[in-house]
Amino acid sequence: MSRPHPIQSVVVIGSGNVATHLAQAFKEKGLSLVQVYSPTAAHAEELARKTGAQPLTRLQQLNTDADLYLISISDDQIQSLSEHLPPLHGIVAHTSGITALAALHRHRRHGVFYPLQTFSKNREVELQNVPFCIEAGDDDTADRLSGLAAQLSSKVYPVSTEKRKQLHLAAVLVNNFPTHLYHLAQTFLEQQELDFDLLRPLITETGAKMLEMDPDQAQTGPARRGDRQALNLHKELLQSQPEILALYELISNQIVRTYHE
């Protein structure tokens, strides 16, 4: 059985956080970055300068002979953009955790290339340990996408659309929600003329424990102990912060029920 032809040339459709990190990683691995598309010329040009690609602002200008067309844009725009692509010879794949594979069904070779990580343009991410979730419309496409992911990471998994949606939801719980809580904590401390840097060692240790322990073993704090006096004192301190108070009560009550009922 012959091995699938490796992906060697890529067109990146998008210029945001994920697109930027993946495009630069592809370049570092020696792949040819043919073009970068963004409807905003400045964004396309910025990423094109970093990768040596040609910047585009019109889909009709796409080179149709690349091995891979990687769509890395907002989830709610993927299907619409896919339907406006010209006929392409290569694989069309998206990087979304929540968008179904079927959103790309009109393309003969289509797939999903989802890196399960949080990305910011101004922060480097070591991709070697980032899980890449792969799904495709046929085995050959899946093998080629998996082969590309294996050049970037040691963690490559076949994951169906339904399982990927569930995984994406769990990722929001462990990443986006805590980040918003950090924001609320920072705002609260600034109002009290306290520095958020005081919390950074705690945040670091909490994250480190998640790498070594199950969450139920790592949980601490007044709700875990069932310390009603401390819980009530905190709620008194939050009387002028009704939105934070509502979250505090909701989460604290769930922790108490988990460990004391």
pLDDT 10s per residue in the chain (261 long)?
456 789 999 999 999 999 999 999 999 999 999 999 999 999 999 999 999 999 999 999 999 999 999 999 999 999 999 999 999 999 999 999 999 999 999 999 999 999 999 999 888 999 999 999 999 999 999 999 999 999 999 999 999 999 999 999 999 999 999 999 999 999 999 999 999 999 999 999 999 999 999 999 999 999 999 999 999 999 999 999 999 999 999 999 999 999 998
- Give, in words, the CATH class of 9-159: alpha beta
- Give, in words, the CATH class of 165-260: mainly alpha
**Which helix (H) or strand (E) is 111 found in, with range?**
strand 110-115
Q: What is the 3-state secondary structure (H, E, C) of 227-261?
A: CHHHHHHHHHHCCCCHHHHHHHHHHHHHHHHHHHC
Q: Residues of CATH 1.10.1040.20 domain(s) within the chain?
A: 165-260
Q: Residues of CATH 3.40.50.720 domain(s) within the chain?
A: 9-159
pTM (2 d.p.):
0.92
